[in-house]
Structure formats: structure tokens, C-alpha cells
Chain A
Amino acid sequence: MNKAHFLKTEKTCFAAARIFLGAVFLYASYDKILHPQAFAEAVYNYQILPDAAVNLVALFLPWIELAAGLCLIAGAWLPGATMICALLMTAFTAALVFNEIRGLDVHCGCFSTQATHDPASLLTVLRDLFFLAVSVYLLVRAVFAPLKITGNMPGRSA
């Protein structure tokens, strides 16, 4: 495979990855925005944040997910959006791992605010690690070693 061909393929991969992760973030924000009180309870149950910060995080976080997800899908402000996604995925994974280690039985609150859905487990951690890997790849290719072959925004003209 020659270099130009490889770059073209990677550009397609980059675009696919950002649209995929954007969709994940949009999907994750939806139920939380609809049910702020239920999401606040999920945040509270993680037992990580001080009580006063619980509602603020429950209110703002889903909208940040939504905005970052929209940017990823639209290909706008990619450096900023990928940075937010990588930071959020790092925080989410760390919070899950932290509670797995201390044996706290938390409901994940990742995609659904219903306590009967997705209890946090090792599988949840692995899923988050996968999303984290995708977001780190996007961050690297959008900020630290940008994909540029035609001068376009990375991945914009997929």
C-alpha cells in the first residue's frame, strides 16, 4: 500500500470513528437530558462527588456530551470536541474502575437512567475502555499529529 493510499484509508477510518463516537455521545446524552432527577441519583450513587456538585454535574454533563457529540458528527471544532470526549471517557472509566475496586454496587447510568438497566460490571469497564481508545485516537489525529493531506480539516471531507 503506498503512502497516499494509506492516508486516504486512514482518513476514512478517522471519519468513521468520529461519527461512531459522536453517535455514542448523542445516544448517551438523550436519556439523561430527559430525566435529570434520575440521572442525579445515578451520579449521587457513584459516591465520588461532594453532595453540592451532584446536581450541577447531572445537569451540565449530558449537554456537554450532546454538544461534543454533535461537533464530532458535524466535523466542526474537532480538536476541542475530541479533547472533551477523551477527557470525559477518562473520567467515566476512572469512576467505574474506582467503584469496581472498592466494591460499590453502582448502577452505571451510562446510557439509561433506569436503575434496572445496565448495572456497572467488568463488561461496562471494557466497553468504556474501548470508547476511551477511540477517543484518544481521535484526539491524537485531530490535535497532536493531525491528518492532513489536502489541507482540509481532518476527516471532514470523508
Chain B
Amino acid sequence: MNSGKARMIKATGQAAAIIAIACMLAACVNLLREDGISFVGDWSTDSRFIDDSGQSLVISLTEASRLYAQKKAVFVDARPKSQYERGRIKGAVSLPWHEVNKRFMEVADQLEGGKTIICYCDGESCELSHDLALFLSDMGFENTRVLVNGWTKWRQAGLPTQTGGQGNE
């Protein structure tokens, strides 16, 4: 038998055995440990964007645009400033997640007044607005929500947008 081929078969067999043992151990430990996770996770938007008590933070576009029309919401853009300036929901406040500690005090007074705070970023998988919403809830803004994939959805629905620096109407 070709020795190269034999070595290859041997290596593959060993690799399969190592993987099998590792997976069995992983499964057993996961079943036994208290903080184990389910083998097939639920990664739908409703279950991903939750607050600490497990409540969904997600707000629908319909609801968000209704609050917008009634001027009952403050939109907070969690993306970097450059993206905010290239285009945002009209009237949105910029609070980039990456600079949240630095910028929070600058915008805090704009968030007060009991309006619903709607955080958004861009893309179904963007976590910035979720992280920001959790941060704002921790800071005491209880009525904080996430508009998932907000920028894209808002633009596609033809709702009001603006560009340029903060405050340009």
C-alpha cells in the first residue's frame, strides 16, 4: 500500500476520533453545567434584542414612524459619526456606541422629556443599537427601544431623512 496514502488515512482517522471525543465531552459538559446553552439556538430578531429581564426591545417600523409623526420619539443613531453625517433619520441624535462614554453627557439632555427613545443602526445583524439601548436603560431611560436595521428600513419606506452635521434641518 502506498505509504503516503496510508499516513493520510491514519491522520484522518485520528482527526475524526479526536473530534468525536471532543464533541461527546462538549455535549456532556453542556448538559451538566448550569449555564449550558441549547444545542440549536434561537437567533431571530425578537429573541436576540432583549433587555436584562428577557423582554423584547424591538419596535416595528410602523410603530416607530407613528411615534415619529406624533413627535413622541427621539431617534438615536448608534453608528459612527461619519455614517450619521452621510445620512440619518431626520432629527436623530448622534450617539456612536464606540464613543458612548465620551459623548453621552453631550446628548443626555436631548433624551430627557419622557419621549420613547428609539435606537437604530444599519443591517439586521448590527448590534450597536442593541448595546446602546441596554446602556440607556441602565442609565435610567426606561422607555428605550431598538429599530432593527433602522436606517435601511426607514430609507426604503421613504420616511424623512437628512444629511450633514448635527442640527442641520
Contacts and interface: CB of A to CB of B under 8 A. Distances in A.
Interface of A: 33, 36-37, 40, 44-45, 47, 51-52, 54-56, 58-60, 62-64, 66-68, 71, 77, 79-84, 87, 104, 142-144, 146
A99 B30 CA distance: 29
B26 A59 contact: yes
B107 interface: no
B40 A55 contact: yes
B25 A58 contact: no
Interface of B: 4, 7-8, 10-19, 21-23, 25-27, 29-30, 35-44, 125, 127
A80 B22 contact: no
B30 A80 contact: no
Contacts of A71: 18
Given A59-B27, A64-B26, 11 more contacts: A37-B37, A40-B37, A51-B41, A56-B40, A59-B26, A59-B30, A60-B23, A77-B17, A79-B11, A80-B10, A144-B8
B17 A63 contact: no
Contact of A55 (B7, B23, B38): B38
4 A-B pairs closest in CB distance: A80-B14, A79-B11, A63-B26, A55-B41
A80 B11 CA distance: 4
Given A55-B38, A59-B30, A144-B7, A81 B22 contact: no
Interface of A is mostly: helix
A62 B125 contact: no
A66 B41 contact: no
B25 A36 contact: no
A54 B43 contact: yes
Contacts of B14: 77, 79-81, 83
A80 B12 contact: yes
Given A45-B127, A59-B30, A80-B11, A54 B22 contact: no
B15 A80 contact: yes
B4 to A, nearest CB: 7
A36 B27 CA distance: 12
B40 A83 contact: no
Contacts of A40: 37, 41
A67 B18 contact: yes
Nearest to B13: A80
B148 to A, nearest CB: 14
6 contacts: A51-B42, A54-B43, A56-B39, A59-B26, A79-B11, A80-B15
